């Protein structure tokens, strides 16, 4: 009887593991060639939690570059930033001031929802003012996030807010393949790269009563520094499950073509895991598997297949 019960428990455990695996989505690609190396359920629409903040940060950085705005500019935490709840590692409160740069660090490293909302409010107001329009600054910012998704051909993506929480009447989704596109685009930006490779960051906040406080925000990506990982972002909600996007870097391959010319082939592996029961464990498995598949492709001479699904080409935006 005990043996039978033990086997029954093992059977249920195996079934649960199988169901979790079936619910999971992942995609592994080499960023510079666009070669898709491994994929499972990668086109499925699903919530992606705080991976949303990759788009939030990139909209901020793109706006700052386009408008020549300083990331040292202090943004005021609005009342609306407190509404979603969730992560607020610095205990930000309405009226506090934080630089856009530090808000980006806290959003990317600490998955700070209040910082993400503060970024959206500040940039959204600037966008509305530039366009001589009135409206909700948060909605104006989210519209920019969706414009970015459209430009990157993220056809199975809709952003509803800058933080990634699932809220009533806000239907947001993406896919492993679309998040991989976003990661490729974001990691082309050396400034963004610098943010997401930091394990910790000292951040300053001016409280509404004038006090100046300093906080250390830790990166939630525990794979940093392992297996060549130098970014990108974690995500976790009940609906989305455990999510993780990573970049595993290898040194470029330099091939001498002749006496005066050489070919440099950059190598970065993008790994996106959604709805996992163990995002770090799964990613740790997929990284060596992905590199093995890449090495096999390289050994074949980097054959360019006619099958579109074997490559993801991310547009280079102006």
pLDDT digits (tens, 9 = 90+) for 169-181: 889 999 999 999 9
**Given the structure tokens 């996030």, which residue do they identify?**
145
- Given a cut of 60, is residue 58 above it in pLDDT? yes
DSSP tag of 174: B
- Percentage with pLDDT > 90 across the chain: 82
Q: For 41-53, what is the mean pLDDT? A: 98
**Which comes out higher in pLDDT, residue 237 or 8?**
237
Q: Which domains does the chain have, with CATH numbers?
A: 23-310 (3.40.710.10)
30, β-bridge pairs: 269
- The pLDDT of residue 5 is above 70: no
- Check pLDDT > 70 for residue 91: yes
Residue 210 structure tokens: 């004038």
pTM: 0.91
Confidence bin at 232 (pLDDT 50/70/90): very high
Q: Rounded to the nearest 10 degrees, how much is the dihedral formed by the CA atoms of 124, 129, 131, 134?
A: 80
pLDDT reading at 6 higher than 60? no
Position 13 scores a pLDDT of: 36
What spatial distance separates the first Cα and last Cα of the chain, rounded to whole Å? 69
Q: Which residues contact 304 (CB under 8 A, 6 or more apart)?
A: 311
Whole-Å CA distances, 239 to 164, 242, 279: 11, 9, 15
Quickly state the pLDDT bin for 308 (edges 50, 70, 90): low
Can you tell me the distance from the alpha carbon of 75 to that of 5, in angstroms, rounded to the nearest whole number? 60
Average pLDDT of the residues in 133-140: 96
Which has the minimum average pLDDT: 8-12, 143-147, 208-212, 304-308?
Answer: 8-12
| pLDDT > 70 in the chain, percent | 92
């Amino acid at each position: 009887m005990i043996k039978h019960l033990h086997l029954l428990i093992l059977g249920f455990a195996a079934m649960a593991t199988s169901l979790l695996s079936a619910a999971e989505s992942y995609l592994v690609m080499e960023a510079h060639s666009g070669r898709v190396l491994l994929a499972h359920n990668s086109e499925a629409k699903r919530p992606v939690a705080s991976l949303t903040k990759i788009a939030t940060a990139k909209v901020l950085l793109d706006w700052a570059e386009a408008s020549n705005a300083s990331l040292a500019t202090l943004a005021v935490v609005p009342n609306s930033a407190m509404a979603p709840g969730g992560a607020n590692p610095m205990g930000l409160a309405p009226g506090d001031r934080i630089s856009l740069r530090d808000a980006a660090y806290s959003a990317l490293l600490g998955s700070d929802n209040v910082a993400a909302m503060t970024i959206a409010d500040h940039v959204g107001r600037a966008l509305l003012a530039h366009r001589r329009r009135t409206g909700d600054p948060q909605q104006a910012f989210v519209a920019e996030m969706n414009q970015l998704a459209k430009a990157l051909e993220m056809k199975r993506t809709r952003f509803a807010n800058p933080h990634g929480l699932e809220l009533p009447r806000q239907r947001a989704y993406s896919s492993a393949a679309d998040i991989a596109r976003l990661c490729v685009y974001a990691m082309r930006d050396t400034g963004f790269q610098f943010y997401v490779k930091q394990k910790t960051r000292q951040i300053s906040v001016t409280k509404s009563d004038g006090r100046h406080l300093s906080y250390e925000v830790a990166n939630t990506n525990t794979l940093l520094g392992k297996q060549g990982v130098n970014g990108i972002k974690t995500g976790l909600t009940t609906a989305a499950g455990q999510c993780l996007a990573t970049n595993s870097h290898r040194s470029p391959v330099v091939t001498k073509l002749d006496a005066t010319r050489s070919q440099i082939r950059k190598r970065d592996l993008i790994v996106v895991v959604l709805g996992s029961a163990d995002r770090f464990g799964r990613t740790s498995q997929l990284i060596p598997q992905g590199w093995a598949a890449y090495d096999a492709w390289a050994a074949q001479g980097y054959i360019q297949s006619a099958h579109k699904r074997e490559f993801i080409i991310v547009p280079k935006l102006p």
